[in-house]
Structure 1
Amino acid sequence: MNVLKIRSEMRNGKSIFDLPLRVTFYARVSTDKDEQLNSLENQVQYYTELIQSKPNWTYVKGYIDEGISGTSTKKRDSFNRMIADANAGRFDFIITKEISRFSRSTLDSIQYTQQLLEHDVGVLFQNDNINTLDSDSEFRLVVMAGVAQDEVRKLSERLKFGFRQAIKNGHVLGNDKLWGYDKKDCVLTINEEEARVVRRIFDLYANQQMGIRRISQTLYDEGFTSRKGNAFNVLTIRHILCNPKYKGWYCANKSQTVDYRSKRKVFLEESEWVMYPDPSIPAIVSEELWDRANALYKRRSEQMMSHQSAAEFHNRYPYSGKIICEEHGTSFHRQVLKSAKGEKEVWQCRVYRNRGRAACSAPQLRTTELDQIMAQIFDQLAQDKQAIVDAVVKVIQSVPDEHDYGRDVLRIEEDLSAIHAKKDRLLEMSMAEAITIEEFKRRNDSFNEQIKELEERLEFVKTEAQKSKRSIEQLEQIRTALEQELSFENGINSTLVTTILDHIVVKKSSTKEEVHLDIHLKFGDPCGVVFNRNDSSFCFSRLKNTTLQMPTRRI
């Protein structure tokens, strides 16, 4: 039924109950406690009987959300389904208890009621006595929804005050399952069995200079496991190392809620944290040990961040992530061995590195050996050099596409559109005198700043997108350089060779004297390599039982 027609009928003396409408209801409780669920059952029964008792109304099954907050509509599945069904024209009228059942956000309430009216669907907020089919309903809705939103703000302030008072009274807030402690009635006591693990972690990290992954494996080998019986998660160890409670300090203000409505948080710089010794928190390790461990943690983190990205850090060596142990299915890690003759770069199975030779029999591989083997393979395959060049160029061309600048542009343009829509709604509220001129100016200026930032970011993204496109001339230069590199006239280029390499499998049959490898390229058939270290010779065979025409060679 058309909203204009309904309002005309109501001006002529008819009530909403006299009109032939398809009517549904929306019910919600904000917790899943028994008394709340009983309240929900009562709401459902009441609205079902009310709608079915009106002879002019057609009952449409209601929409129910259990145990969900009214602050935001993002996670309210039934509510969102109701809005979609309204847009599809499946009913004409919604009954709900009050505005706070719909949403405690003024903007959300107005937005959804306006959206529903655009699809000829009205809403009756029963306790607030607001029927959006009445012509003066929007002004009253703004006032009532504003009151509901202010209740959320007051609740947020009361919670913050409660937290501050609890801390002042020596009550420890936060994680109830903090490793090394038992917590009861907001009081921490040391769990000695778990505290042994915490002390061991700090000792291995700060005193023995172990990495976090190595610590996890060491703890597991020593019989220390998580509460579920597994090896300690790397993140768990990091959290233990960085938590000041373990030295008996209180730590707060790590994050702040930017918007009490969306509950969006931002994490603050460490300089803004609130930290001090707290007598109510029993220390498990000394301050000196904790400080030393965290100084080392920061130093290592800075070394990691000095590389442009995590991917670059892990792949800055040509064979990183490309050598696989057949026995364990794990990757080989780089190690630099120092001796009187100098440094030697080798690759070792991760299981061997963590648990020793008894755990993995795979031999370590030298980078120089791998370079020579790869050079010989490509020397033989270079008869079809053009195919190799084409394959490498294809890989290079794909790199710029890894970042979807088009998607970034679309997202920014959508954000701009959303802010312009908010400015329009703000203007409507100002014209309806729902907000003051000062409030309108403050919020409008904020929107303008956001628009300026988004427009600058949009320009930057478009510029970067243009830079990422390689010209035909550039690709031709790359192609020429590749042809020269593949001739190996200037020696081995490991980076180039491993660009074409997919992965290497170190076979179980390998020994220290004789290494068996399966080498898989990014094109063509894989090949097997047997390398004899006693006489520095190696031979090749295709894995499809076809012997390559390659003589035995010596390195």
Structure 2
Amino acid sequence: MKKVTKIEPASVSSLVQRKLRVAAYCRVSTTSEEQLESLNAQKEHYEKYIKAHPDWEFVGLYYDEGITGTKKEKRKGLKAMLTACELKQIDFIITKSISRFARNTLDCLEMVRKLIGLGIFLYFEKENLNTQSMESELILSILSSMAQDESTSISQNSKWSVQSRFKKGTFKISYPPYGYANIDGKMEVIPEKAEIVRGIFREALAGKGCYTIARELNESNTPTKKGGKWTGTSVRGILSNEKYTGDALFQKTYTDSQFNRHINSGQQEQYLVTNHHEAIINHKDFDRVQAVIRQRGSEKSVKKGSSKYLNRYVLSGKIICGNCGSHFKRRTHYTAKGSYIAWTCQTHIEHKDKCTMKYIRDDEIHKAFVLMMNKLIYGYKVVLKPLQAALKTMNGEERITALANLDERIVKNTDRKRVITELVGKGFLDATFFTKELSDIAAEAEMLAQEKKRLENSATGNQKQRLELDTLIHYIVKKPEIREFEDTLFERFVENIVVYSRNEIGFCMKCGITLRERMVN
């Protein structure tokens, strides 16, 4: 018997077209009262503007306050909006202008292309530009370049203004160090916190280390500037800050042309203003503490401004967490039977919930290394010889020829882009065709650049691997057996260690292979 199934007609509500989910993004560049008022005005404007369209649904306002527009990585509101787009929670975005959205041409184009790829478009009010209907990326590229130039100009003017105040000694410290407050543009001492600073200096002069001082401050529930926990780094920052003597050294850091901040190690001028404000520590005690810090650094092979721990122990800076990617830190563990050295993931130390990787013992790493090297001594013909043969078969001349061909293709790609840009500028080329061609050229340029980088790395890296491998084989052929861990041997052949678990680690050899080894208890 035939079976008939009745299909009900679709309801009227299901046939109604879904509203366009619209979000807005706005940003102010500083946290001043006037700018925050501007932010509130923008929020009110966009809510009314979006809700005024019956076919639009307001799904949120994303904003950043007091955040620079030159780098998208520093803007939490923007990142949250992009995440919502990836989750298909937004269909359309409105923003005031390109300069409010991004002042970096590369970031602007990258984000626009990403959103278009997700089927999400943007409307820039000031420029009256809709990425859904614009004929090409050329307009957006020009406008965002102008915004970047404006940002650079503003940055340069700001730098000139700040440096001028540095020279005159009139620069106001907007964020004074612990123990001070900014009152009417002047640094004023906070008595109760100033006493804590004096206590930190006294403890340092008594011979206590920064981490010991930090631990004792935490145990006594002494408040920090931001309400968090004291660390050795924060204590060291106080002990090395000349502002506690009443002097102020300006331009300790500087920003490069790409808006990245660096420590000023002589690249830019610095300005020292003496008797800038009331002192908490006298110069004599401050200089004595600096001498103590230098002495401690000398004893531990620590040099200020360097990667201080890398030269201190043979394993320092070379153990990497296979779980979160952080480096391991050396610590001393105490038990009823005595003490032992262990290595612990830095992330696990600070946030146990973010990384569950526990410590590994120093002596167990040593045993694992000895075991691994002895396995190579007895089995190098199976493990290392095939790799050596494979590396020797790679032809260096073929790489050189391939690199030359790539360079030629890169030049042609650049010429092609220049020609079609000139043609569209003169009106000889259709804008739609130009957009497609420009996209193809950009994709080809990216592919060529990656291929060239791969070949260059292969050309230099392969030769280095061969030399390292030959040296390793030459060593173990003559070595009968390794009895104990040797610092020089480890440093010569091992690049770093990856910790997969408390029971297994991997030795990443300089010759390019990683050898896993079980931990020996």
The bucket for the TM-score relative to the shorter chain is: 0.5 to 0.7
Q: Give the equivalent residue in structure 2 for 1:542.
A: none
What residue in structure 2 maps to residue 50 of structure 1? 53
Q: Give the alignment's Cα RMSD to 1 decimal.
A: 5.4
Matches within 5 A, 1:133-212: 136-164=135-163, 167=166, 168=168, 170-176=170-176, 178-206=177-205, 208-212=206-210
1:337 counterpart residue number: none
- 2:334 matches 1:324: yes
Amino acid in structure 2 at the alignment position of 1:285 = I
The partner residue of 2:61 within 61, 64, 68 is 64
Q: Please name the residue that 2:276 is paired with.
A: 280
What residue number does 1:252 align with?
Answer: 250
Does residue 25 of structure 2 align to residue 28 of structure 1?
Answer: yes
3-state SS of 2:255 partner? strand
What CA deviation, in whole Å up to 9, does each residue of 1:208-245 have, x standing for no partner?
45433455567789x79444899953222211221111
After TM superposition, give the deviation of residue 187 of structure 1 in Å. 0.9
Distance in 2 of aligned mates of 1:274 and 1:453 = 39
State the 1:195 CA deviation. 3.2
* Contact map agreement 2:50 2:58 (CA 8 A) in 1: no
CA distance in structure 2 between the partners assigned to 1:390 and 1:227 by the alignment:
42
- Structure 2 residue identity aligned to 1:30: R
Q: Tell me, in whole angstroms, the C-alpha distance in 2 between the residues paired with 1:294 and 1:171.
A: 26
SS at structure 2 position matched to 1:279 = coil
Match of 1:432 among 421, 434, 437: 421
Give the distance between the partners of 2:244 and 2:230, measured in 1 at CA: 17
Give SS of 2:39's match. helix
Closer, same or farther: CA 397–305 of 1 in aligned 2, 3 Å: farther
2:79 equivalent in structure 1: 77
Taking structure 1 as reference, are residues 393 and 332 closer, same or farther at Cα in structure 2, changes over 3 Å only? closer
The 3 A distance-change label for structure 1 pair 72 and 44 is farther
**CA–CA separation in structure 1 for the residues paired with 2:72 and 2:414:** 19
Uncovered stretches (5+) of structure 1, i.e. residues with no partner: 1-19, 53-58, 334-373, 375-387, 399-416, 436-447, 487-501, 503-520, 525-555
Aligned to 1:106: 105
Equivalent residues in 2 for 1:212-361, closer than 5 Å: 212-216=210-214, 225-227=222-224, 233-259=231-257, 263-269=259-265, 272=268, 274-305=270-301, 310=309, 313-314=312-313, 324-326=334-336, 331=339
CA contact (8 A) 1:171 1:186 kept: no
Q: Distance in 1 between matches of 2:454 and 2:50?
A: 46
1:118-133 to 2 correspondences below 5 Å: 123-132=122-131
Aligned partners of 2:85 and 2:120 also within 8 Å: no
3-state DSSP of counterpart to 1:280? coil
The amino acid of 1:64's aligned partner reads L
Tell me the distance in 2 between the aligned counterparts of 1:271 and 1:100.
Answer: 30
User: Partner of 1:50: helix, strand, or coil?
Assistant: coil
* Alpha-carbon distance in structure 1 between the residues aligned to 2:118 and 2:467: 46
* Counterpart residue type for residue 240 of structure 1: I
Aligned to 1:39: 42
Q: CA contact under 8 A between 1:216 and 1:234: conserved in structure 2?
A: yes
Report the Cα offset of residue 449 of structure 1: 13
Q: Which residue of 2 aligns with 1:546?
A: none
Matched residues in 1 for 2:415 and 2:339: separation? 57
Equivalent position amino acid for 1:29 in 2: C
Q: Matched residues in 2 for 1:424 and 1:236: separation?
A: 52
Displacement after TM superposition at 1:312 (Å): 6.3
TM-score, normalised by the number of residues in structure 2: 0.53
> Match of 1:172, as an amino acid?
K
Paired with 1:292 and 1:454, the residues of 2 have a C-alpha distance of 53
Q: TM-score, normalising length from structure 1?
A: 0.50
CA 1:522/1:105 → structure 2, altered by over 3 Å: closer, same or farther?
closer
Deviation at 1:30, TM superposition (A): 1.2
For 1:64, what is the secondary structure of its paired residue? strand
Aligned-partner Cα distance in 2 for 1:64–1:236: 36
Mark the CA change 1:479 to 1:123 in structure 2 (over 3 Å): closer, same or farther: same
* CA spacing shift, 1:46–1:296, aligned 2, 3 Å: same
Is the CA contact 1:321–1:331 (under 8 Å) kept in the aligned structure 2?
no
Distance 1:117 1:450, change over 3 A: closer
Residues 393 and 479 of structure 1 are in contact (CA less than 8 Å); yes or no, is this contact kept in structure 2? no
Alpha-carbon distance change, 390 to 96 in structure 1, aligned in 2, over 3 angstroms: closer
- One-letter identity of the residue aligned with 2:175: N
8 A contact 1:63–1:78 mirrored in 2: no
Conserved? CA contact 1:257–1:264, under 8 Å: yes
Aligned identity (percent) is: 20
Distance 2:116 2:215 in 1: 62
Distance 1:464 1:250, change over 3 A: farther
SS in 2 for 1:297: helix
